[in-house]
Structure 1
């Protein structure tokens, strides 16, 4: 079974699981949940098409157990023949978002060239990896970048983001700081920002670190990417159309 077939089968399992396996899944959940630690809640359990394992999903984390919940398996399920990482494929699918639902009006917008290749990125002004990624983006062409100012590293992050947002030229102020270390001028006291809205959005999307990159198909990449990685990702998205 190849990767696409496996993911498709899991999707079909989700659609029919309520009717076909509710009792068994409930039994496994009842047995396994107390073993995961106090306060941990299992979001779903489904039977996988490999090895008789059951997938235990906690948020976007994937674990595995047997039908009697006697054993708990932590790690990746990899096809020994093809090398396909089924666990990664599943977590990638779970972490997808609906790109069109993002409040793009609350993000900085940078367009280079034809702007056809679109990403959204959550960045903190005090994030070193974000600054590295910003340098990568500066060398890219034919791209549109929506930047959400996601302040999670310090109180000073909120101040810097407000100063950037309230600047006459937000993109210039952001690049001046991220690329050149030139701090933006202090924001007027009456200037309002979407900081709290973006913080809530990031928490809802389980953005736990910066940068977090989202592509037009809804897939995400946590952490900075280099130019080669970005080009390969865009190429794969184009070939999938």
Structure 2
């Protein structure tokens, strides 16, 4: 049972803090935080919209509208954003922007969203050394706020191949290191979309092909996911919920 602790006065100026002591047995992850990355046309958007019924999904798209044509029959509400200002207008308060009942927010794709921020800050900041710091801080603050939302958060990104110190390639999300550090620490799932012909998801690191991926399954339940799973987030979310019970 949670217990509220009211700290004693210590001479510090300001209102007293109210902090809740909880028990880990009460934990219940109600919402999924997922990054899907891969090549163009690897099924990222289709997979992202598979976690719940289409009527409960809202999409923030940085892509031309024809990129969503394959979702037409699903009837999903979406908004297309073209600039950093439009991105912030939606993501600063998605519950206010999108009406109706919904429980899943899809951002498609975050690689292009970061490019919007780069364009904005290059125009606003004369000192080039400060541009990437501004991008890092702004993207991090926005993403941290979204992670506190009462909805599933599904983010897509492109892939890129990087070489390590031994000149061996790693396939990773095409995102800045600062953004990836936040996603790695805060998101429960990072899945690699394998694309055609099977359109499966890589659920954990592939050391043979050197693909970055991972999940937060408990150590005693790591086999709840196969190394490669069908691109069905609803099914994977159910497996995860069962594993943590």
TM class, shorter-length: under 0.3
**Which is higher, the Rg of structure 1 or of structure 2?**
1
More relative contact order, 1 or 2 (CA 8 Å, 6+ apart) = 2
Larger relative helix fraction = 1
TM-score, length basis structure 2: 0.26
Structure richer in strand, relative to its length? 2
